[in-house]
Amino acid sequence: MSTLPMTLLRQCQTSLLVVFCLIASPFSFAEKVSGEPGTVLATPPDMTYFALQGDTLSGISKRFTDKALNWPILSKRNHIADDRAIPVGTAILIPLELLPEEDSEARVLALAGNPTYKPVNGDELPLAIGTVVKEGAQIFTGKNGFITLAFPDNSRVSIPSNSQISLSKLRKTKYTGSPRTEISLIEGKVESHVSSLVSNKGRFEVRSPLAVAGVRGTHFRVGVTDAGTANEVLEGGVAVNNPVLKKSDNIVLPAGKGNIVTSTAVGKAVNLLPAPQLKQEYWLQVRPTIQFLIDKTDIARGYHVQIAKDSQALDVLAEKYFKENRFKFDGLADGSYFVRIAAIDQYGLEGIPLTQAFTLKARPEPPFTLQPKNKIRSDKTDFVWTEASNALSYHLQVATDTDFNNIVLDQSNLKDVQFSTNKLNNGQYFWRIATVVTQPDGKLDQGPFSDTQAFTQLPPQAAAAFADSEGKEISFSWAAEPGQQFLIQIAKDSEFKNMYLSRESTAAELKIPRPDAGQYFIRVRATDPDGYVGAFSSTQKITIKARWLDSAGDAIKSIAGTVGTGF
């Protein structure tokens, strides 16, 4: 075994987290340090003071530890036999734990919602970025609130919504600034990114009604739940205990482990659920309501999802808990973000989080597509969409595949909300439309395309063929598909304002009494079995000739045929 000094071994045995103590070594007496007389130097686990003329151990002890009676500890640490004058410039080691404490502070690094705090003997006040909080302050995040505190040693503590904490101890050692931090979790949860405290002998603890979590530098979470106190370790290690239970119930949780502490027991370590997986298609969001979908697992009882500006989720903009594996958020401006997703297990422990960068580019928003939809029967295709606010122009694309790899029509700089073309052959197509606006700097900005709309281009409705039997009736027929119904219109004008007949039929033919002599116009419109109403066929012009009739009303015929009136 390594020949570590007994003082170090005793420190390790009493430490909250043994693993960290064992990797630290004391400042070696063999190492030569030098400094100006009267100055100090951090040499963990000690502070080194360079003696002035006339210094004694009791005087040094009084000056730096506030207690002259600590000189025997300095005598033993520095192998100086008695309290006598020390040569100028001598390096005197002063253990960091002997240094007195002074007030420290925390500063609000990021926040969302309307979190508040209550100083000692003060009224509750709103928090803002940059607000300085002192020891004894209570912090309330409230509904939809979030806050991250930054400490002088660059440690960070994030407090999610519906949480309450108290900064029960917020101090640091004089001269070296070694942290002495205790956070009391009253309700909700805290997530801590603690800078290494091994070298500076600092302390950081999160206390809940049932447990104490002590660390030497790590990333962990502590939450108060109905089941007890939940501890989850993401990096490093955390020593967890219940102060009212016997010491043998203490447990050290390594990274990837968690446990529940109740009033009667310190729960065993369990594996945290692995990080969920998110498909690449969600890395770019093109709608104001952002959505994420992950693979569902039977072992997850829910999910904690956060949207943040940074990869460490210190500056959280929104967070929610979901039971299902689809997550939605609203209210974000276009920009770059990070989504952080952790699965929650049967014990209520949050698993290893997935952190994924994504981009939101949803503006300017696309118009709504109006037509065509599903299918169209016409010799031309009319595309129609709604008008978008502040639109300078529109960009239309038509393709034969949903990924728009095979684009057959790409029309930009459209100023109107409709566009017609007769260049599409029969077949299936997909179309989409985007809005183009002018930014304040004068640059053009095209937003995302609309949802893809599919349609099938079918042959237009065939015109009605007119057959004049020269009898008392005339008949019309046209091409049809099974199950179609028809609307047949006959008018005396090409605009169909002076209507002669309008009739619905399930048959692709029409017989009517022969009308009076003159010119007529006829058109047919089909309705498919699925309810699709097609366009009218092309208009056909017919002429009904005047004839001589006999007493029975039949046309008089000669060898040459029906005898007309000459008109």
**60-102 pLDDT, tens digit each:** 999 999 999 999 999 999 999 888 889 999 999 999 999 999 9
pLDDT in tens, 114-157: 999 999 999 999 999 999 999 999 999 999 999 999 999 999 99
Q: Are 259 and 276 in contact (CB under 8 A)?
A: no
| Whether residue 95 is found in the same domain as residue 136 | no
Closest by CA to 128, choosing from 307, 152, 139, is: 139
> For 177, left (φ over 0), alpha (ψ -120 to 50), or beta?
left
| Whether residue 338 is found in the same domain as residue 380 | no
Using the 3D structure, point to which of 399, 429, 458 is the last residue of a domain. Answer: 458
Residue 107 lies in a domain: yes
pLDDT in tens, 202-232: 899 999 999 999 887 799 999 999 889 999 9
| Whether residue 482 is found in the same domain as residue 421 | no
Residue 443 lies in a domain: yes
| Whether residue 65 is found in the same domain as residue 109 | no
| Whether residue 136 is found in the same domain as residue 252 | yes
**What is the structure's pLDDT at 17?**
31
| Whether residue 161 is found in the same domain as residue 112 | yes
Task: Give the CATH number of the domain where residue 228 resides.
Answer: 2.60.120.1440
Residue 198 lies in a domain: yes
Q: Hey, is 276 helix, strand or coil? A: coil
Residue 567 lies in a domain: no
| Token couple for 414 | 């459209």
Task: Give the CATH number of the domain where residue 45 resides.
Answer: 3.10.350
Task: For residue 388, give the DSSP letter.
Answer: P
**What is the structure's pLDDT at 454?**
97
Q: Which domain holds residue 171?
A: 102-271
**What is the structure's pLDDT at 16?**
30
| Whether residue 232 is found in the same domain as residue 266 | yes
Using the 3D structure, point to which of 79, 99, 119 is the last residue of a domain. Answer: 99
| Whether residue 329 is found in the same domain as residue 470 | no
Only one residue has tokens 């994420």, namely 292
Residue 297 lies in a domain: yes
| Whether residue 108 is found in the same domain as residue 194 | yes
344: CB partners within 8 A, 6+ apart = 273, 300, 301, 302, 303, 304, 321, 350, 351
Residue 561 lies in a domain: no
| Whether residue 159 is found in the same domain as residue 244 | yes
Using the 3D structure, point to which of 324, 342, 360 is the last residue of a domain. Answer: 360
| Whether residue 127 is found in the same domain as residue 252 | yes
- The full 3-state SS of 318-344, as one line of letters, equals EEEEECCCEEEECCCCCEEEEEEEEEE
Say how many domains are in the chain.
5
Angle between helices 57-65 and 71-78 (to 10 degrees): 110
Rounded-to-integer distance, Cα 496 and Cα 492, Å: 7
**What is the structure's pLDDT at 11?**
36
What residue ranges of the chain have pLDDT lower than 50? Answer: 1-31, 560-563, 565-567
DSSP class per residue in 448-513:
PPPPPEEEEEEPPPPPPEEEE-SSSEEEEE----TT-EEEEEEESSTTS-SEEEEEEESSSEEEEE
Task: Give the CATH number of the domain where residue 289 resides.
Answer: 2.60.40.10
| Whether residue 520 is found in the same domain as residue 388 | no
Residue 559 lies in a domain: no
**What is the structure's pLDDT at 10?**
37
499: CB partners within 8 A, 6+ apart = 489, 490, 491, 492
Residue 378 lies in a domain: yes
Q: Are 183 and 168 in contact (CB under 8 A)?
A: yes
